[in-house]
Chains A and B, each alone.
Chain A
Amino acid sequence: MRRFSWFNATSLTFGFVFLYLPMLILIIYSFNESRLVTVWAGFSTQWYGELFQNKAFLDAAWITIKVAFWSSTLATILGTMAAYIMVRAGRFRGRALFSGMIYAPLVMPEVITGLSLLLFFIALDVNRGILTIVLAHTTFAMCYVSVVVTSRLVSFDEALEEAARDLGCTPFDAFRSVTLPIIMPAVVSGWLLAFTLSLDDLVIATFTSGPASTTLPIKIFSAVRLGVTPEINALSTIMILIVTVGVIIASLISRGVSIRAKADERKAEQS
Chain B
Amino acid sequence: MAQLKPNVFFAPWNDPAEKPLIQFKNVTKRFGESIAINNLTLDIYAQEFFALLGPSGCGKTTLMRMLGGFETPTEGQIFLDGVDIGPFPPNERPVNMMFQSYALFPHLTVWENIAFGLKRSDMPKDQIGDRVGKMLKLTQLEKFAKRKPHQISGGQRQRVALARSLAKAPKLLLLDEPLGALDKKLRNETQFELMDIQESTGTTFVIVTHDQEEAMTVASRVAVMVDGQLVQVATPDQIYEAPTTTYVADFIGDVNLIEGKSSLTDGGMDVHWDDNQPAIHVTTDTPLAARTSCHFAIRPEKVSISSEKPNAVNVMKGKIIDIAYLGNISTYYVEISAGVIFKAQATNNRRLSRRTYTWEDEIYLSWTDTAGVVLTE
Interface residues of A (CB under 8 A from B): 157, 159-160, 162-170, 173, 178, 181-182, 261, 264-265, 267-269, 271
Would you call B117 and A159 a contact (CB within 8 A)? no
Can you spell out 23 A-B residue pairs with CB atoms less than 8 angstroms apart?
Answer: A157-B103, A160-B105, A162-B97, A163-B99, A164-B116, A165-B70, A165-B89, A165-B90, A165-B91, A166-B91, A166-B97, A166-B165, A168-B121, A168-B168, A169-B91, A169-B120, A178-B105, A181-B107, A182-B105, A264-B151, A265-B150, A268-B152, A271-B151
Kindly state the separation between the CA atoms of A269 and B68 in the bound complex, as whole angstroms: 33
What separation, in Å, do the CA atoms of A164 and B151 have in the docked complex?
A: 21
B164 within 8 A of A: yes
What B residues does A160 contact at CB under 8 A? Answer: 103, 105-106
Q: Contact at A167–B103, with CB atoms within 8 Å? A: no
Report if B28 contacts A (CB, 8 A): no
Checking A163, A265, A267, A269 against B103 with a beta-carbon cut-off of 8 angstroms, the contacting residue is: A163
Q: Is the CB of A268 within 8 A of B153?
A: yes
Task: Tell me, in angstroms, the Cα distance from A165 to B95 when the chains sit together.
Answer: 11
Nearest residue, chain A, Cβ from B144: A271
| Residue with the greatest number of chain A CB neighbours at <10 A, chosen from B151, B156, B168 | B151
User: In whole Å, how far is A93's beta carbon from the nearest beta carbon of chain B?
Assistant: 14
> Do A268 and B150 have beta carbons less than 8 Å apart?
yes
User: In this complex, which of A157, A162, A167, A269 has the most chain B Cβ atoms within 10 angstroms of its Cβ?
Assistant: A167
Main secondary structure of the interface of B (DSSP, over half): loop
> Among the listed B89, B107, B152, B165, which residue makes an inter-chain contact with A271, where contact means beta carbons less than 8 Å apart?
B152
| Interface check B277, CB cutoff 8 A | no
A265 to B120, CA, bound (A): 30
- Residues of A near B104 (CB, < 8 A) are 163
Seed contacts A162-B97, A164-B116, A182-B106; 6 additional CB < 8 Å A-B pairs: A159-B100, A160-B105, A164-B105, A165-B90, A166-B97, A264-B148
Check: B262 CB closer than 8 A to any chain A CB.
no
Q: State A181–B108 Cα separation when bound (angstroms).
A: 10
Of B96, B101, B116, most buried by chain A (CB within 10 Å of CB) is: B116
Q: How many residues of B contact A (CB 8 A)?
A: 30
Chain B residue with minimal CB distance to A167? B117
Q: B residues within 8 Å of A by Cβ?
A: 68-70, 89-91, 95-97, 99-101, 103-107, 116-117, 120-121, 148, 150-153, 156, 164-165, 168
Q: B191 → chain A, closest Cβ, in Å? A: 23
Contacts of A162 in B (CB 8 A): 68, 70, 90, 97, 99, 103
Known A160-B105, A162-B70: A167·B120 in contact at CB below 8 Å: yes
Chain A residues with CB below 8 A from B100, complex form: 159
Question: Within the complex, which residue of B101, B120, B150 is in contact with A168, where a contact is CB–CB below 8 Å?
Answer: B120
Query: Which residues of B lie under 8 Å from residue A178 when comparing CB positions?
Result: 105, 107
Contacts of B151 in A (CB 8 A): 264, 267-268, 271
CB <8 Å contact, B90 and A166: yes
A243 to chain B, nearest CB (A): 29
Residue of B nearest to A173 (CB): B120
List residues of chain A with CB within 8 A of the CB of B99: 159, 162-163
A163, A181, A261, A264 interface centre (most CB from chain B within 10 Å): A163
Complex CA gap A267/B90 in Å reads 35
For the complex, give the distance between the alpha carbons of A168 and B165 in Å.
11
Q: Are A167 and B150 in contact (CB under 8 A)?
A: no
Leading 6 A-B pairs by shortest Cβ distance: A167-B117, A168-B120, A163-B103, A159-B103, A165-B90, A264-B150
* Chain B residues within 8 Å of A268, by CB: 150-153
Residue on B nearest A268 in the bound complex, by CB? B151
Q: Which residues of A contact B103 (CB under 8 A)?
A: 157, 159-160, 162-163
Q: Is the CB of B117 within 8 A of A261?
A: no
Q: Which residue of B lies closest to A181 (CB)?
A: B107
Contacts of A167 in B (CB 8 A): 91, 96, 116-117, 120, 164, 168
Q: Report chain A residues within 8 Å CB of B89.
A: 165
CB-CB < 8 A to B106: which residues of A? 160, 182
CB distance from A17 to the nearest CB of B (A): 43
A157-B153 in contact (CB<8A): no
Among B96, B99, B103, B152, chain A packs the most CB atoms within 10 A around the CB of: B103
Residues of A within 8 A of B70 (CB): 162, 165
Bound CA–CA A78/B176 (angstroms) = 36
What is the bound-complex CA distance between A170 and B89, given in angstroms? 9
Shortest Cβ gap from A90 to chain B (Å): 12
Q: Quick check: B152 and A168 within 8 Å, CB to CB?
A: no
Q: Are B105 and A168 within 8 A (Cβ)?
A: no
A173 to B103, CA, bound (A): 17
B153–A170 touching, CB < 8 Å: no
Contact partners of B168 in chain A: CB under 8 A: 167-168
Q: How far is the CB of A33 from chain B (nearest CB, A)?
A: 53
**Chain A residue contacts of B97, Cβ below 8 A:** 162-163, 166
Query: In the complex, what residues of A have CB within 8 A of residue B152's CB?
Result: 268, 271
- Is the CB–CB distance between B120 and A163 below 8 Å? no
CB distance from A260 to the nearest CB of B (A): 9
- Look across to chain A and name the residue whose beta carbon is closest to the beta carbon of B154: A268
Separation in Å of the B96 CB from the closest CB of chain A?
6
**Chain A residues near B116 (CB-CB < 8 A):** 164, 167
Chain B residues in 8 Å Cβ range of A159 = 99-101, 103
CA distance A168 to B107 in the complex (A): 18
Once bound together, how far apart are the Cα atoms of A262 and B105, in whole Å?
17
Do A182 and B107 touch across chains, with their CB atoms under 8 A apart? yes
- Per the bound structure, the CA–CA distance linking A29 and B153 in Å amounts to 58
Contacts of B69 in A (CB 8 A): 165-166
Name the residue in A160, A168, A261 with the highest tally of chain B Cβ atoms < 10 Å from its Cβ.
A168
Q: Which residues of chain B have C-beta atoms less than 8 A from A165's C-beta?
A: 69-70, 89-91
Bound complex: CA of A160 vs CA of B103, how far in Å? 5
> Please, which residues of chain B bring their CB within 8 A of the CB of A166?
68-69, 90-91, 95-97, 117, 165
List the B side residues contacting A271 at CB < 8 Å: 151-153, 156
For B114, give the chain A residue with the smallest CB separation.
A167
